[in-house]
Chain A
């Protein structure tokens, strides 16, 4: 499905070719395309609205997805102006692929938290409780950022979690816990906050061993370097930071 979406995205600029130049000449409206990690969806949607309010005639359009998917799409020529990654590894990948225009800036960080269904039916109180055989635990696969963070936490704590499933993304982990299929999962602090009353969060001290840093950068392919830089500065600046903190993100 994602591949199809990517293919369609590639067709979009073709379809827009004829009208593009005229639109720019007639209307002062500008559109900024921001490709951002899925975990930023709520925070960035609000930041985007505020940025639009602060800049007349500017529309911010978001594409949210897994960071590595987004890098792949940008590499294949997706029409993006700004890229915000959920980890430095994927930003490094983008830098290596020479698609980044500016210098990446770290703008937020996130740590893991244990998530359980409301009422915590399996009585999970610590990271150690996840290693027992009785509780069904889901984590992210080590190949994706949240799973890499989980592996670092396990290593730091000297524990080994025996998951019943290694999911593709943090939202999949959250989904399995919300539906009650799993007794516990490891997700980001921001995910627990975002899910509200549908879940119960259990913080654990070892989480500090795996801090995920979020970098943002404007892309080489942008048509409006000033606007792209304006957005990244806004995210790094006080307005962006205050929105991010209300969604549970910590300072980088």
Chain B
């Protein structure tokens, strides 16, 4: 009960809090109880499972990189400048967070697809996006980008502009301020954003299956493989689900690690 005294939380709050925690933990426990431990290792090391896991890790890493390349400048613009329509822009940028991924997939199809908005331009450039690994990375980046922007913009605002102003008055040029002051200051937030983006990309399903298709080694990421395996081999689906849960737990651990060094 030291918890109650320390934080001043009314005791009754603990009941819904415990229920909420059980609501999250129980399904994971249920999942673990369904794992066929005898065949677990052979199920998760089958050719199709390994292809899916490897593809998932590669594409998630690529989309995390894109999230850093585009998300960091976006967060900087949103946090450090003011312009008309800024709040509208922020809402739009965050839209993929609340959009059903399938809707994102359909939207991407009408943008990058053969008959899409940019379809002909892409065709002229000799690129093929539909049904390619590139399409998977695009889908993942689309859904993961807001995590980077939200996380970093929050950190930028909390960090404040004091040091940047001082650096500027001492004669540092904007790029130097960004490189030497701002980015080192918000590095933990940036790392947390990158890890969250990676996690979101790893779990991406709806936009990928709608936009990129599903082919082993090319577009069939781990979530798609799980969804497909469920049709014929539920044991394999459960085993792979557990792998994804473990990866997610590791990712959360990483975020907590970077957060605690920030404090």
Do A and B form a real pair?
Answer: yes
- Mark A residues whose CB is within 8 Å of B: 1, 66, 68, 72, 136, 138, 141, 143-144, 163-168, 172, 176, 179-182
Give Cα distance in the complex from A144 to B219, angstroms.
Answer: 18
* Contact in complex: B109, A143 (CB < 8 Å): no
Give Cα distance in the complex from A182 to B206, angstroms.
Answer: 19
* Contact in complex: A166, B230 (CB < 8 Å): no
Give Cα distance in the complex from A164 to B109, angstroms.
Answer: 16
In the complex, the 9 A-B pairs of residues with the closest C-beta atoms, listed nearest first: A165-B213, A164-B131, A143-B231, A180-B115, A143-B232, A181-B130, A68-B231, A165-B131, A165-B215
User: Which of chain B's residues 225-248 have a Cβ closer than 8 Å to chain A?
Assistant: 227-232, 234
Q: Nearest Cβ in chain B — how far from A70, in angstroms?
A: 12
- Mark B residues whose CB is within 8 Å of A: 100, 102, 109, 113-115, 130-131, 206, 209, 212-216, 219-220, 224, 227-232, 234
The A-B contact count (CB < 8 A) is 60
Given A136-B131, A181-B109; 4 other pairs, CB 8 A cutoff: A1-B100, A141-B231, A166-B215, A166-B216
Question: A68-B230, A143-B229, A144-B231 are known contacts. Are A168 and B214 too (CB-CB below 8 A)?
Answer: yes
Picked from A68, A164, A172, A180, the residue with its CB within 8 Å of the CB of B209 is A172
Write the chain A residue with the least CB distance to B219.
Answer: A165
- Which secondary structure dominates chain A's binding surface? loop
Give Cα distance in the complex from A68 to B229, angstroms.
Answer: 11
15 contacts between A and B (CB under 8 A): A1-B100, A1-B206, A141-B214, A143-B228, A143-B232, A165-B213, A165-B219, A166-B215, A168-B214, A168-B224, A176-B213, A180-B113, A181-B109, A181-B113, A181-B114
Q: By CB atoms of chain A within 10 A, which of B102, B215, B216, B234 has the most?
A: B215
* Contact in complex: B228, A141 (CB < 8 Å): yes
Question: A165-B214, A167-B213, A168-B228 are known contacts. Are A179 and B206 too (CB-CB below 8 A)?
Answer: no
Q: Please, which residues of chain B bring their CB within 8 A of the CB of A167?
A: 213-214
Q: Please, which residues of chain A bring their CB within 8 A of the CB of B214?
A: 141, 165-168
Give Cα distance in the complex from A141 to B212, angstroms.
Answer: 15
Write the chain A residue with the least CB distance to B212.
Answer: A165
Give Cα distance in the complex from A182 to B212, angstroms.
Answer: 11
Q: Nearest Cβ in chain B — how far from A40, in angstroms?
A: 18
Give Cα distance in the complex from A138 to B213, angstroms.
Answer: 9
* Contact in complex: A179, B115 (CB < 8 Å): yes
Give Cα distance in the complex from A164 to B228, angstroms.
Answer: 16
Q: Please, which residues of chain B bring their CB within 8 A of the CB of A68?
A: 230-232
Q: By CB atoms of chain A within 10 A, which of B114, B214, B216, B224 has the most?
A: B214
Q: Please, which residues of chain B bring their CB within 8 A of the CB of A136?
A: 130-131
* Contact in complex: A179, B109 (CB < 8 Å): yes
Q: Please, which residues of chain B bring their CB within 8 A of the CB of A180?
A: 113-115
* Contact in complex: B209, A168 (CB < 8 Å): yes
